[in-house]
A and B are shown apart, each in its own frame.
Chain A
Amino acid sequence: MNTGTVLDWLGAVALVAGALLSLVAGIGVLRFPDVLDRMHAATKPQVLGVLLLLVGLALRLRTPTDLGMILLVGVFQLATAPVAAQMIGRAAYRSGRVDRDLLDVDELADPGR
Chain B
Amino acid sequence: MTPSPPPGRYGRWRDQAIALGWLIAVWNLLWGEVTWGNLVGGTLVGAAVLLFFPLPPVSFGGRLRPTALLVLAGTFVVELVSASVHVAAIAVRPGFRPRGAIIGVRLRVRSDLNLALTAELLSLVPGTLIVQVDRDAGVLYVHVLDVRVPQDLTGSRDRVLAVEERIVRAIGSDAELRLLSTDPADRRSET
Contact = CB atoms under 8 A, between A and B. Distances in A.
Given A24-B88, A82-B130, A107-B188, A47 B124 contact: yes
Interface of B: 26, 28-30, 32-33, 80-81, 83-84, 86-88, 90-92, 97-104, 119-124, 126, 129-133, 141, 143, 145, 147, 150, 153, 188-189, 191
A44 B29 contact: no
B103 A28 contact: no
Interface string A19-52: 0010011011001111011011101110111000
A107 B102 contact: yes
Interface in A67-100: 68-69, 71-72, 78-79, 81-83, 85-86, 89-90, 93
B32 A108 contact: no
Nearest to B188: A107
Contact of A39 (B121, B129, B153): B129
B91 A108 contact: no
B160 to A, nearest CB: 13
A108 B86 CA distance: 25
A87 to B, nearest CB: 10
Contacts of B86: 44
B87 A28 contact: yes
Contacts of B98: 32-33, 37, 102
Contact of A41 (B28, B91, B189, B191): B91
Given A36-B131, A79-B120, A105-B191, A24 B102 contact: no
Which residue of B83, B123, B132 has the most chain A CB atoms within 10 A of its CB atom?
B123
A27 B29 CA distance: 34
Nearest to B133: A86
Contact of A44 (B32, B83, B130, B131): B83
A81 B141 CA distance: 18
Contact of A68 (B32, B88, B123): B32
Given A28-B87, A69-B32, A93-B131, A107 B100 contact: no
Contacts of B119: 82, 86
A56 to B, nearest CB: 16
A90 B87 contact: no
Contacts of B83: 44, 48
